[in-house]
Structure 1
């Protein structure tokens, strides 16, 4: 397999945006090459067991996680500091300490599930038609989440102004773990990690803005760990001959992810998941029709 620079830039930019927009990056990584067809469908086959495309995807994930770390660097300084003080003084008292343990506990379920199921789901379901079907399901989940959130108990807003991290730190640990566990569904190509996590957060009483922020904070260690575990693929046989495209694609992913998270944090301050639900439904149906009838 060869990977052209054009393929690397296009797929890298799609990865950075779709990893954070609630529309499934893995689903788009499967669908975009299949819909373009020809050499793209041959070069960019994520379901092949030993495809060099996997090494490329690793680079994109690391770049996306780096963009999230850069955007939320102040939050992560507080969170890491909270973890250190919690260990040092054997306590979970401050907002930073609670948020640190909340993120750790909430990422354990998806971490274990990813190690056990990622290869199976990717090779069995990482094909265009299943990805398109799951994209439709993702749209339905987003739409249903918006409808059901009106019945969910909202988190009481205190009289004194709080930072977003302080509000998130007040989440009960069990509720936070439940929200984080929703990321397991994103192992299915077409189901969005940020989308299902946001829906879970909305149904547990978070605002759109806080649900988005918590989703991005939860996603950062998961994406980074998934990329780090497979970094040997970049230097091994799978990465041979495509280091240049990997670098260019990763840069495109980094830039697009940073711009995407900036946009979404502002967007969810006043808006909802409904437009993304409509997009997923229409894009999924159109993809199924194109792939089965064309």
Structure 2
């Protein structure tokens, strides 16, 4: 593995892991499109691939970046879990959210242990990955379409509120907030997002979910075992379908992803010290640093982006990228 390959894939992993575009899919498709030594050096489908050890390091760095960004939230959540166990109660939002995250992690954790090797060695090839990436885009666009229809039905049910002169009334914006319209991700077709308190407030809303619904949203991560299906994207799509706002769906997906990504990396951390990591420890360190920085910047951007915007740009990107890759592999 060259230093250039390590730098490019490391930076790509950090960004694509949290953007709803599939980091694994891009880590497979980019080397395949470039071809040559890239396709040989960066083959994750091989059962004993050094590239797999490299990916493990990137996952640990990504999880660390998420913990650093959400450290205050994780302190609250872990404290809630510990107090819940000690006191044998689920009395507040932090305790309830902690248990929702625990229960939500179980299905994908079991599925990953049982199916990860099979999915990686059988499906982690360029053509299937391009198909899944295209499907990922369609899922994102479909989730946005269904959400918009639901918002429209709710608006029709409530009916317009006429103001003087026949125009629809618009409530004044609160200080420190900004307007959000239904096309760009409002949970109710027109509301406000206060960035100063959005995290704890969002956690309180997430904690109020029914247990079954939260677990089903979290279980959508299982689909991300297929290369090209985005973990954050599929979780957000499931959250939107279940009625979460874009902001809450994004936050829930990032919180759910942290223990899953960390566990996936830590379980295979021994590969880095074994034969698979021989000769590429420097490249792993470089890629991990770039991946961690990229992940931190990505989550910082996306938590603000999804407060006011939708999944549509990412959906169209995945459809276009998947289709272009399929055409490229067919004609090359």
Q: State whether TM-score is above 0.5.
A: yes
Equivalent of 1:144 in 142, 145, 152? 142
Aligned length: 289
Structure 1 match to 2:55: 57
Structure 1 match to 2:43: 45
Structure 1 match to 2:82: 84
Structure 1 residue 119 and structure 2 residue 99: aligned? no
Inter-partner Cα distance in structure 2 for 1:279 and 1:263 = 18
If the length of structure 2 is used for normalisation, what is the TM-score?
0.85
Say which SS state the counterpart of residue 46 (structure 1) adopts: coil
The Cα offsets for residues 268-292 of structure 1, whole Å up to 9 and x where unpaired, read as 1110000000000000000011112
- RMSD, aligned CA: 1.4
Structure 2 match to 1:21: 19
Structure 1 runs of 4+ aligned residues shifted over 2 Å read: 150-157
Inter-partner Cα distance in structure 2 for 1:8 and 1:199 = 31
Say which SS state the counterpart of residue 163 (structure 1) adopts: helix
The Cα offsets for residues 96-138 of structure 1, whole Å up to 9 and x where unpaired, read as 0000000000110000000011100110000001000100000
Equivalent of 1:168 in 206, 224, 231? 206
Structure 1 residue 254 and structure 2 residue 300: aligned? no
Structure 2 match to 1:286: 324
Inter-partner Cα distance in structure 1 for 2:144 and 2:11 = 28
If the length of structure 1 is used for normalisation, what is the TM-score?
0.96
The Cα offsets for residues 41-100 of structure 1, whole Å up to 9 and x where unpaired, read as 000000011000000000000000001001100110000000000000001111000000
Is the radius of gyration larger for structure 1 or structure 2?
2
Equivalent of 2:251 in 204, 210, 213? 213
Structure 1 residue 193 and structure 2 residue 191: aligned? no
Inter-partner Cα distance in structure 2 for 1:291 and 1:69 = 38
Equivalent of 2:92 in 83, 91, 94? 94
The Cα offsets for residues 151-173 of structure 1, whole Å up to 9 and x where unpaired, read as 4488789xxx8711111111111
CA contact (8 A) 1:179 1:197 kept: yes
Equivalent of 1:273 in 296, 303, 311? 311
* Consecutive unaligned residues in structure 2, runs of 5 or more: 155-186, 192-196
The structural deviation recorded for 1:194 is: 0.2
* Consecutive unaligned residues in structure 1, runs of 5 or more: none
Say which SS state the counterpart of residue 243 (structure 2) adopts: coil
Inter-partner Cα distance in structure 2 for 1:284 and 1:268 = 23
Equivalent of 1:134 in 112, 132, 135? 132
Say which SS state the counterpart of residue 251 (structure 1) adopts: helix
